[in-house]
Chain A
Amino acid sequence: MEIAVYLAFILMLSIFLGFELINKVPATLHTPLMSGSNAISGITLVGALTSAGAEHSGLATILGTIAVAMATINVIGGYMVTDRMLAMFKKKGSAK
């Protein structure tokens, strides 16, 4: 049950933190920000690695391997797409 208390703390702190971080973002950055934080949610890759690598049973390994592939698409694709969006954003800004 201890972990539930820790979790409540982490959730509370990250909600305040999330609010402070996102509060005053210009509208042009909404989509890149969404894409960038989407890439962070690919952190589930870390969990997938331990499922795929620790030999529990056949099914856990299969699930873990699919999860690794899916989460890697999320991470690599997410960061690259965000970078492309922001690169264009910069060009637009300097052209003005």
Chain B
Amino acid sequence: MGIELLVNLSYVAAAVLFIFGLKMLGSPATARKGNLVSAIGMFIAVVVTLLDQSIIDFKWIVAGIVVGGAIGALVARRVEMTGMPEMVALFNGFGGVASLFVGWAALYGFEATTFELITIVLSILIGGVTFSGSMVAWGKLSERISGKAIVFGGQRVFNIMLILAILASAVMFTLSTGPATSIYLYLVIGLSLLLGIMLVIPIGGADMPVVISLLNSYSGLAACAAGIAINNIILIVAGALVGASGIILTQIMCKAMNRSLSNVLFSGFSAVSAGG
């Protein structure tokens, strides 16, 4: 009880630091300090989590942190200033895939209730869309794939079918038991990765910053869903905070470009209908 209470109180402190950090990031004078405040919040959250008694084996944790930290630090230091937006897209994609795996891993070790299964499938779905969408955004910005809007006939119908297929496999996943579960699980993973690609390819390279901001919001929601799945309050709070502030930032960025969000998201499709 003692340690659990300490962990949860530290999570509250971390959430407060995230909120102040975001607030300070919004003003030029305090922005750099705000980023530091938010980083301290993250540091506290990670360190107290290591005190959690359910963690009995540290070797894989250390390996993951060392490898991830080294890659992250190296890439962040090397990247050119002009390459920043695509760097954010890449990092965001990694965050998304991490939430996907956290949700997936939550399937093992305990009997999940239907509600938990729903949150698991949500974290996998949103995490998958975030990952593949971010990778496409990164590819477009770094010109590894064409920055032009990629559209084809029947795209809208295809996307609607895809969403229906995801819904169907998600429902089947939450209802199924035994070996069938993993078949629907892989279906949800595969289809959500495909959906992420389909959502971003019809959008032109110039609109990518807005798309990245939206995907950033998604990665927050994925973390939030993963948090409910594994019953961790800081994931829920911080994820919801990023999800909400991300979607509002997306709106503001659209407004600054004199466009509406739906205008950006469906620009590729309207180009098709305008073209014939």
User: Residues of A at under 8 Å CB distance from B?
Assistant: 1, 3-4, 7, 10-11, 14-15, 17-19, 21-57, 59-61, 63-90, 93
Contacts and interface: CB of A to CB of B under 8 A. Distances in A.
B23 interface: yes
Given A51-B101, A83-B35, A75 B42 contact: yes
Interface of B, secondary structure class, is helix
Given A50-B49, A74-B94, A44 B35 contact: no
Contact of B35 (A14, A31, A36, A43): A36
A47 B246 contact: no
Interface of A, secondary structure class, is helix
Given A61-B60, A76-B69, A67 B81 contact: no
A7 B236 contact: yes
A38 B56 CA distance: 29
B18, B110, B220 — which one has the most chain A CB atoms within 10 A of its CB?
B220
B52, B99, B106 — which one has the most chain A CB atoms within 10 A of its CB?
B99
B32 A21 contact: no
9 contacts: A10-B240, A21-B26, A30-B253, A38-B242, A49-B52, A51-B230, A71-B95, A78-B72, A89-B32
A36 B81 contact: no
B99 to A, nearest CB: 5
Contacts of A71: 68, 94-95, 98
Given A36-B38, A37-B242, A53 B58 contact: yes
A70 B97 contact: yes
B29 to A, nearest CB: 9
Given A1-B115, A10-B240, A45-B98, A39 B26 contact: no
A82 B39 CA distance: 11
A26 B42 contact: no
Interface residues of B, number: 98
Nearest to B73: A76
Given A72-B69, A79-B39, A50 B223 contact: no
Given A54-B54, A77-B91, A25 B101 contact: no
A54 to B, nearest CB: 4
B73 A67 contact: no
Contacts of A76: 68-69, 72-73, 76
Nearest to A81: B76
A73 B232 contact: no
Contact of B256 (A18, A23, A27): A27
